[in-house]
Structure 1
Amino acid sequence: MHPHLVFWISAVVRMIIVLVASSVAGFFWGLVPGLVLAMLGMMTLIFVQLNYLLRLADWLDQPSSSHLPDGWGAWTEVFSRLYKLRRGDEKNQAELAEWLARFRQAMSLLPDGVVIMDDVMFLEWCNPAAEQHLGLSLSQDKGMRVTNLVRTPEFIDYIILGRYETPLTLSFRERKLIVHIIPFENRRQILVTHDVTESERIDMMRRDFIANASHELRTPLTVINGFLEIASMQPDMEVSIRSSHLKLMSEQGERMQRLVEDMLTLSRLESMEYSVHHEAIDMHGMLVQILQEGEALSAGRHQLSLQYDGPDILGSADEIRSAFLNLLTNAIRYTPEKGKITLIWENCPLGPKFIVQDDGIGISAEHISRLTERFYRVDKSRSRETQGTGLGLAIVKHVLLRHKAHLLIESTPNVGSKFCVQFPANVILLN
């Protein structure tokens, strides 16, 4: 039956009951008592309706399915339908709140910055990446104009011109950002920021690596080709001159070979497919061998010594030997004659530590952070004199990364340098 028909039938039934009761009272006690009873009955019905209207008005101020009043008569159906509607709304609100929480959690995990603004650039919401990229604070900056928070001429021009089809490359807060504004709904806009600082740095390193490698290879190739051209033009060249040319070509060939070998070593160390082969390493035997190779390279020009007071470890013996030998070789190359170079292997609370300490020429502070870059040289002329490839410390860095170790460098010009390799404690070989 239709709800409206049920409502009117129940209302008419209640009025008929009042009228019948009034008629019975009038039949037995007279007309006046009957009319009084009819009036009281109708006033009661009106009062009940007004009471339920008041309770409904109070509930509408703070609608909740758990505090919905009970009804009588037609109000039972009214409150029952309101209860169903409110329960549906609460369920929808809970689902929307859950989706909103998921959305914000997903946005907070994105590496790209996301800023939601209205049509006049007032900040409504942003994720942590956007706060980091643009220096925003959602708790403090919400409701403020984004152009007042990001004060760069390029960004403001981008906003004013409104050419949002092309992203903006922006240098801001020592970062390089790709900024793109996307119109969203009628009165919303999304600002997306992508940090390309690291990729730009990697691209620059790649370009520098190619340029430096080409330059390093060009010099010995030029020498070899030049000598070959001279030899072809002068077939009856004196034996002494030919011998000196062959010696120089041999030296340059060996230099190219070392350079290619170091580049291949770096490539192998950076490969994810080339995992670390862990094995037990006799550190005393390895360090004694490294010391002997250092003494052969020094040829008596330096005082080399070894202080051994540390444990054997687990790791790749070939890689660690290569890293330690590179550190010692650098110390020999950059320490004047009669200088002292000390190798130290010891244990400390953080784990085993290897130290190469010298009293050589030292390094200025501004160069220390870049020493492990490929082909980076503090003194290019001295490096070429000592036949360095410029890749030794880069190899050391990657070996240590693969063994969860790190390199600490302390140096003072004209006083000396200290290269310290700190291993984690879990590499110690347990007996």
Structure 2
Amino acid sequence: MNPKLVFWVPAALRTAIILAGCALAGWMFGWTTGLVLALLAMMALVFTQLSYLYQLSNWMDDPRSFKLPDGWGEWTNIFSRLYRMRRDDEKNQAELTEWLARFRQAMHLLPDGVVIMDDVLFLEWCNPAAEQHLGLSNERDKGMRVTNLVRNPDFMDYIILGRYDQPLTISFRERKLIVHIIPFENRRQILVTHDATETERIEEMRRDFIANASHELRTPLTVIVGFLEIAAQEGLDAATRAAHLKLMTEQGHRMQHLIEDMLTLSRLESVDYPMRPDPVDVHQLMEQVARDARALSAGKHEITLTVDGPNVMGSYEELHSAFGNLASNAVRYTPAGGKIHLVWKEHEGGVKFKVEDTGIGISPEHISRLTERFYRVDKSRSRETQGTGLGLAIVKHVLLRHSGTLQIKSEAGKGSAFIVCLPKTAVVQQQPELLLH
């Protein structure tokens, strides 16, 4: 039906009915009465229209669907249509609000920084990662130019040149950041930042590991190759040949130990070799560690052992490797005649294994780096001690797999104490089959 007819026909009918009623009243009670009634009826209609206009005006100040009046006449249709429109708007707004909340939550959880800027680089919004990477504040810096907030020459050149097809790597706030500007819409740009500090550190560790491993292998190989070239010469006496063979054997064993430690470290870091914890007989383990230390010492040190603690859950081989490395280090870095004390005991937080010696000690500045691969306090002593430089790195990874920690207390010239702490969750009750050992 024609919308005009829908509106005008009912209105005309209502007006005709009112006028007909007033004419009937005039015929019955006099035309003066009829005219007065018609005037009052028209005034009532006008007042009703003005009343609904007033209600509509008030509703427009706070247009919520549940506040709409019911209406009368054509106003019923008008308010009904407004109600449906407003209800649809509220539904769309709720959906948009939900999507916006999800978007903000996703942006907040992103590890990469996101900065939204206008076409003249004024900050409109940034997520917490961007605040951490660039030192921004979404509340404090909103509306300020990003180039005034991020003071970096390379970043400024990147902005000025406008070559956004490739990302830029910068050093900023002691971080290595990869930044990329992505234009979108007509008057906005997105600045994305990625923290590559950890990646760079891992890459540096990889390069250092390869360089150090190559250096450690090159030295014994050079010795072996040199002696083989000498041995190939004619006229070499038996004593010299025997001395050379002894040195080549020592260097071969050094390479063998290095490769074994590298393979052990690789296995400990691999997810393909998960630890399968079993009850560990601590008395047997400690006795074996002490025997190995005494064999390495060859009677040059006084080595004592105290075992006063429960058995634990873990890998016997891995714990033996870790504890053996700590004990052998104590032997290597303690002068002849020194004392080494191995202790296994229980404490409030779990159990401890302590290796205490009267050796050369370690200066404070070196302690935090001792578990790094191939790190040596005194590189000139590496040949004397016959160590591979991977022992404490192996200890660290074994303890990570056993939820343990390593504490180091040392003072140069006064000895050292290496303390392994395993949690209470690693402790097991004494079992009859373990008590038979």
TM-score under structure 1 length normalisation: 0.96
Q: 1:414 — aligned with what? A: 413
Between the aligned partners of 1:61 and 1:187, the Cα distance in structure 2 is 32
The answer to whether 1:386 aligns with 2:395 is: no
Q: Which residue of 2 aligns with 1:13?
A: 13
Provide the residue aligned with 1:307 in structure 2.
306
- What residue is the counterpart of 1:266 in the other structure? 265
Cα distance in 1 for partners of 2:426, 2:237 equals 59
Structure 2: distance between partners of 1:154 and 1:165: 16
CA positional deviation for 1:33:
3.0
Structure 1: which 5+ residue stretches go unaligned?
none
Helix, strand or coil for the counterpart of 2:406? strand
By how many angstroms is 1:402 displaced?
A: 1.1
Q: Give the 5 Å matches for 1:324-339.
A: 324-339=323-338
Within 5 A, what are the aligned runs for 1:6-405? 6-232=6-232, 234-405=233-404
Once the two structures are TM-superposed, the CA of residue 17 in structure 1 deviates from its matched residue by 1.9
Aligned AA (2:342): L
1:339-390 CA distances to partner (integer Å, 9 max, x unpaired)? Answer: 2221111111211111111222221222212111111111111022111111
Using the aligned pairs only, state the percent identity. Answer: 67
Deviations 1:248-275 (A, max 9, x none): 1111111111111111111111111111
Question: What is the CA–CA distance in structure 1 between the aligned matches of 2:123 and 2:416, rounded to whole Å?
Answer: 52
Per-residue CA distance 1:2-39 (angstroms, 9 max, x = gap): 44322111111122123212322333344433333222
- Cα distance per residue 1:92-134 (max 9 Å; x no partner): 0111111111112222222111122222223222222222222
- For 1:307, the aligned partner's letter is T
C-alpha RMSD of matched pairs (Å): 1.5
Q: For residues 311-352 of structure 1, give each alpha carbon's deviation from its aligned partner in whole angstroms, at most 9, with x where no partner exists.
A: 111110011001001011111111222222211111112111
Q: Secondary structure at the match of 1:138?
A: coil
Aligned length: 430
- Kindly provide the amino acid, as one letter, of the partner of residue 54 in structure 1: Y
Name the SS of the counterpart of 2:139 in structure 1.
Answer: helix
User: Secondary structure of 2:124's match?
Assistant: strand
Between the aligned partners of 2:116 and 2:40, the Cα distance in structure 1 is: 63
Whole-Å Cα distance in 1 between the matches of residues 104 and 334 of structure 2? Answer: 58
Measured after TM superposition, the shift of residue 138 of structure 1 is: 2.4
- Unpaired segments ≥5 residues, structure 2: 431-437
Q: What is the CA–CA distance in structure 2 between the aligned matches of 1:409 and 1:139, rounded to whole Å?
A: 44
Where 1:139 maps in the other structure, the secondary structure is coil
> Residues 219-241 of structure 1, C-alpha deviation per residue, up to 9 Å, x if partnerless?
11111111111121x22210111
| AA aligned opposite 2:273 | Y
Give the counterpart letter for 1:407 in structure 2. Answer: L
Mapped to 2, the partners of 1:165 and 1:412 lie a distance apart of: 55
Could you tell me which residue of structure 1 aligns to residue 433 of structure 2?
A: none
C-alpha distance in 1 between matches for 2:364 and 2:181: 42
How far does residue 407 in structure 1 lie from its aligned partner after superposition? 1.1
Provide the C-alpha distance between the structure 2 equivalents of 1:145 and 1:411, rounded to a whole number of angstroms: 51
Q: Which runs of 4+ in 1 moved over 4 A?
A: none
- Letter of the 1:173 counterpart: R
Q: Distance in 2 between matches of 1:152 and 1:44?
A: 75
Give, as a single letter, the amino acid of the residue that structure 2 aligns with 1:195.
D
Aligned counterparts of 1:347 and 1:69: Cα–Cα separation in 2? 78
1:250 alignment partner AA: T
What is the one-letter code of the residue matched to 1:65? S
Which residue number in structure 1 is paired with residue 435 of structure 2? none
Secondary structure (helix, strand or coil) at the match of 2:306 reads strand
How far did 1:302 drift?
A: 1.9
SS in 1 for 2:370: coil
